[in-house]
Amino acid sequence: MSATRTVEVGGQPGYAVHVGPGVLDRLAEHVRPGRRVLVVAQPGREVVVADAVEALGSAGARVLTTTVPDAEAAKTAEVLTGLWALLGREGFTRDDLVVGVGGGAVTDLAGFVAATWLRGVDSVMLPTSMLGVVDAAVGGKTGINTGEGKNLVGAFHPPRAVLCDPAWLRTMSRADYVSGLAEVVKCGFIADPVILELVEADPERAADPAADPELAVELVARAVQVKADVVAADLREASLREILNYGHTFGHAVELIEGYTWRHGDAVSVGMVFVAELAHRAGLVDGDLLARHRSVLGALGLPTAYPGGADRWADLRAAMGRDKKSRGDTLRFVVLEGLARPTRLVGPDEELLRSAHAAVS
Ligand SMILES: NC(=O)c1ccc[n+]([C@@H]2O[C@H](COP(=O)([O-])OP(=O)(O)OC[C@H]3O[C@@H](n4cnc5c(N)ncnc54)[C@H](O)[C@@H]3O)[C@@H](O)[C@H]2O)c1
Ligand SMILES: O=C(O)C(=O)C[C@@H](O)[C@H](O)[C@H](O)COP(=O)(O)O
Ligand SMILES: [Zn+2]
């Protein structure tokens, strides 16, 4: 049995991300006698939910469980309203706890319920997807989508703990797992090139959720460390945190245009190639680093082009204008000016944007 890896996330208060077998034992640390707990679960995660409910119950909690729709269908105002109604009917107080069980869609939703109920109650996240554990459950960004864009409504509300048994990830489909690896690769490009080397050494092995548990945990720990370092320094995205948005300006636009049917990591993968093309045209990224984006993402089976987008430039451009990093009419992109050297490209020329788009169409 491998040891638990723990990454501390600094803050007021800080919290820990524990990745290892038996992590559910730590749920008891968040239970006081009689404390009520709402478990917000993704469909299909019944075994994890049952284990969590047992751990919470044995520690003396009064547990209520609810299952929300799968994937992005969970991140809607309607689902959120339903959860508020449930908490109200059940009389949840500021002393109580919300636990999210599932992929990033559910941890975003559960985190936002916790952020907004009575202006904020505690939450603990049990991410069951690769993307959830390396990114969504960590760092306190919570929220839902709207018809106008991705994550347009939300709050910064860090959890009290993030617990993940890596065995949970092994039941993931390869497509969902690899989508999560896009965020891991993102961390490689913006901060930790060892991640890129680990993936490049054997992309087939890295892409298989069950092939190499040690490699999987190493990638998780490295990506979580990148995120922890950033959010500890800039929780509310005054500046530094924007680097975690590498590839997201274009990626979120694709997700909106595709009616939230694209996997988030797939969209971010194309978004990273788009922004590398943009930075290359701006003289910031050389040909080798640009090519490395296509090669590492492509080797994992991630998309490096958005073929459907060729006729959709106007829609993509409008959606990118609603990106949270925009200021007024000015688009702002996180770009690299070298490996692990993120910076911003502010208000790039429209021709440059069109040309980068053509390169990923
Ligand atoms: N808050 C943040 O900082 C942050 C960061 C990155 C992404 N996100 C958000 O996270 C979401 C993407 O997360 P995701 O990729 O986990 O998507 P997801 O939650 O939609 O899960 C993807 C699919 O994997 C399934 N799944 C989850 N765990 C599984 C398991 N153990 N075994 C088998 N199947 C499993 C789900 O049921 C779903 O069908 C997006 O909404 C994105 O915007 C948020
Ligand atoms: O944690 C962050 O900060 C990120 O940007 C991480 C992203 O991977 C994540 O997709 C996040 O939800 C995007 O945030 P948004 O503010 O662009 O909606
Ligand atoms: Zn993301």
Q: Using one digit for the tens of pLDDT, what is the confidence trace for 109-140?
A: 999 999 999 999 999 999 999 999 999 999 99
Q: 174-359 has which fold?
A: Dehydroquinate synthase-like, alpha domain (1.20.1090)
Atom of ligand 2 nearest to the CA of 108: 12
Tell me the pLDDT band of 2, cut-offs 50, 70 and 90: confident
Q: Give CA–CA dist 280/290, Å, rounded.
A: 7
Q: What percent of the chain has pLDDT over 90?
A: 98
Kindly state the average pLDDT of the residues 29-43: 97
Determine if ligand 1 sits within 6 Å of the CB of residue 126: no
Q: What is the pTM of this model?
A: 0.98
Atom of ligand 1 nearest to the CA of 263: 15
Q: How far is the CA of 332 from the centre of ligand 1 (A)?
A: 26
Is 71 annotated to bind ligand? yes
Q: Is the Cα torsion angle 146, 151, 156, 158 positive or negative in sign?
A: positive
Q: Using one digit for the tens of pLDDT, what is the confidence trace for 261-296?
A: 999 999 999 999 999 999 999 999 999 999 999 999
DSSP-assigned letter for residue 161 = E
Q: Give CA–CA dist 280/274, Å, rounded.
A: 10
pLDDT reading at 1 higher than 60: no
Kindly state the average pLDDT of the residues 234-250: 98
pLDDT at 311: 87
Q: Using one digit for the tens of pLDDT, what is the confidence trace for 56-66?
A: 999 999 999 99
Task: Among 9, 42, 153, 252, say which to mutate for ligand 1: greatest number of ligand atoms within 8 Å of CB.
Answer: 42
Determine if ligand 2 sits within 6 Å of the CB of residue 292: no
pLDDT at 159: 98
Q: Give CA–CA dist 287/17, Å, rounded.
A: 37
Determine if ligand 2 sits within 6 Å of the CB of residue 145: no
Is 107 annotated to bind ligand? yes
Q: Nearest CA to 351 among 313, 320, 315, 319?
A: 313
pLDDT reading at 309 higher than 90: no
Q: Which CATH architecture has domain 5-169?
A: 3-Layer(aba) Sandwich (3.40)
Q: Using one digit for the tens of pLDDT, what is the confidence trace for 182-211?
A: 999 999 999 999 999 999 999 999 999 999
pLDDT reading at 215 higher than 90: yes
Domain boundary assignment for the chain: 5-169, 174-359
Nearest-CA residue for ligand 1 atom 7 is 136
DSSP-assigned letter for residue 140 = S
Mean pLDDT (the chain) is 97
Q: Using one digit for the tens of pLDDT, what is the confidence trace for 140-159?
A: 999 999 999 999 999 999 99
Q: Which ligand is nearest to the CA of 153?
A: 2
Kindly state the average pLDDT of the residues 229-253: 98
pLDDT reading at 40 higher than 60: yes
